[in-house]
Structure 1
């Protein structure tokens, strides 16, 4: 019973955060929902081991990410998402900034997107990211620097586009 209560508390404290992180990393909330649910199910199956990890949340996020990027898994998730009924569901309005950041994240390479999200949204250090993504710290630093530059360029392009009336810098 203690295991169930402990796991329930862990899930309640971390599930929405992990879902948000994974959604940002892979660019699809539907795919993230499926991968996160499966990752938590696997965490429950291995709870005696997972609870002993330095960060059970990082374990779940890493498993969810691996599930989400599997080509087969993506195909299944896309089919499920298209078949879902959306009648009666309320969708939260997203702010302009949120939409711009998510759009820009989708436009940068996956490795860069992943480390940018882990660093800036999750709050992990370069060393922690290196462990989570199984890469050396210098590689993470490179992806992070390139990701920031690419993200900034996409966000600046979008801002310039809106300021100039749809890309027309001559006002005509």
Structure 2
């Protein structure tokens, strides 16, 4: 199974037959929500499609060998969650490898900056994790630059609800940032 360069559209193999057509329909129906789901879990925008593509590749592999799973959508979300966990584990391992390969003497002056950045990133992740899921989804899609109308369409809510969730998320983050004395530049 291959995936197109632009987008995440699966291309069913020539001998995919009915299974290929069934999978293609499943993909078309579920790919947009899968992208949103992965985005809402904090995966960086540039890696979201890779995680979704790997998940659908896994689905296609299962689909070919065992046929469509009994509950294909719940199975997809389990695959997505596992792939997201794999993504974060791989990223942490790469960071450890890079940290291990750098000579400590090169980092004497920048280690404090790096530690501060890591601590700040952890604080931001904690603040975002404290938001209700819908507010976090709306905020993440907004930060990605999506217009209100597109966010509303993707989440199947009204534009007014998008604005309400966004305002509530910002208000909560401002309050939590003030309480934790986190600099506002962390979000710039």
| Structure with greater contact order relative to length (CA < 8 Å, sep ≥ 6) | 1
From the CA coordinates, give the structure whose radius of gyration is larger.
2
TM-score interval, smaller chain:
0.3 to 0.5
TM-score (norm 1): 0.44
